[in-house]
Amino acid sequence: MNGSALVWLPVAVSSVLLVWALRRTRPRTGGGEPRLLDLSEAAFLTGGPGGVVDTALVALLGDGRLTAGGPGIVQARPGAPAADTAERAVLRACGQAPSGWLYQVRYAAMRDPAVQEVGDGLAARGLLAAPGRGRGVRLWGVVQAAVCGVLFVLSLPLTLFTLAVSGGGGLAAGVSVPFALLAGAVVGAVCARRAARRVTPQGRRALRAMRALYVGDGSPQAQTALFGLRTLRDPYLAPLLIPAARQARLAAAQHRAQAGRSGRSGGGSDACGSSGAEAVPVVWCAGSADSGGGSGCGSSGDGGWGGSGCGSSGGSSCSGSSSSSSCSGGSSSSCSSSSSS
């Protein structure tokens, strides 16, 4: 075995096994064409639990069942009905929010079991990968891409020097080493990117079909469900919901840091950094786009999410801020309005 084979053979074996492992991690789907049941499922594929809650908030704020009493403050109209489980989750969260801050309502609603179960249903039908699935494959791909990339850079001057000394002899053998390393880096990067995707190919097809079904519906609710808050142009809703999603991202980072500190200090905590039997474990709180992996949870490309983080515009399914809100949404006091003008 010559020297070049010592390089390209392990790279080839690792790449083949990596592709095989990636295929094994993808959820299996049943027979028939994949389809979504409603806009809540489309919103979950587009932006995770945050996408579902944002869609419900658009509907509730749009018809007055929720009203804005100040910058970032909302309250529910007494006796306001809910059209679906997501809207009921929002109204419950509003009834538990200690101060009526919209981003706290958003957090608590994302944690609601009814919203979380949307993801469970999609995963059961093979349209969405469960949290944590493919993590090992992604790490494998990242390591392979990094190692092959570094060795590729280092191999270039050595290959040129060898060819110059040999007077061009053994050109094929000399070129095969950097080519194999480059191919290994590309395969590793592509597999890592695909492993980070939450939405499966069947899920993306189902989402495209749902978008085609609503192609003529320009309502804010449908557009938010199908494409996320990035498409929201309503002059009343956008200034309310987009900052709330931004605040949710900051609160999520704070809670993750608090959870990490409490974990290191020996205290038990859930995904939000709270502890105790009343804490609701957040399962569907990770994810980013169809077109890529990484962290964060924005929708992009065809829609979808992967990586870590939550919500179509970011955020997390943990609730609260560093100062006033707990992970479970706070006390049982109703949403309050700071000024109803």
At residue 325, the pLDDT reads: 36
Give the mean pLDDT of 36-49. 92
- pLDDT over 50 at 269, yes or no: no
d(C-alpha 93, C-alpha 33), whole Å: 36
At residue 322, the pLDDT reads: 33
Buried b (16+ CB within 10 A) or exposed e, 32-53: eebebeebbbbbbbbbbbbbbb
Give the mean pLDDT of 39-53. 92
d(C-alpha 160, C-alpha 321), whole Å: 57
pLDDT digits (tens, 9 = 90+) for 302-334: 444 543 334 333 333 333 333 333 333 333 334
d(C-alpha 151, C-alpha 177), whole Å: 10
- pLDDT over 60 at 299, yes or no: no
At residue 167, the pLDDT reads: 59
Of 6-15, 100-109, 232-241, 264-273, which gets the smallest average pLDDT?
264-273
At residue 240, the pLDDT reads: 87
* Proportion of the chain above pLDDT 90, given as a percent: 26
266 vs 221, residue with greater confidence? 221
pTM across the whole model: 0.70
d(C-alpha 103, C-alpha 321), whole Å: 9
105: closest CA among 319, 299, 263? Answer: 319
133: closest CA among 43, 194, 203? Answer: 194
Q: Burial of 167 by CB count in 10 Å (0-12 exposed, 13-18 middle, 19+ buried)? A: exposed
At residue 337, the pLDDT reads: 38
- pLDDT over 90 at 174, yes or no: no
At residue 281, the pLDDT reads: 42
- pLDDT over 90 at 245, yes or no: no
Phi, psi of 173, deg, nearest 5: -65, -40
- pLDDT over 80 at 160, yes or no: no
SS3 67: strand
45 band by pLDDT with thresholds 50, 70 and 90 = very high
- pLDDT over 80 at 6, yes or no: no
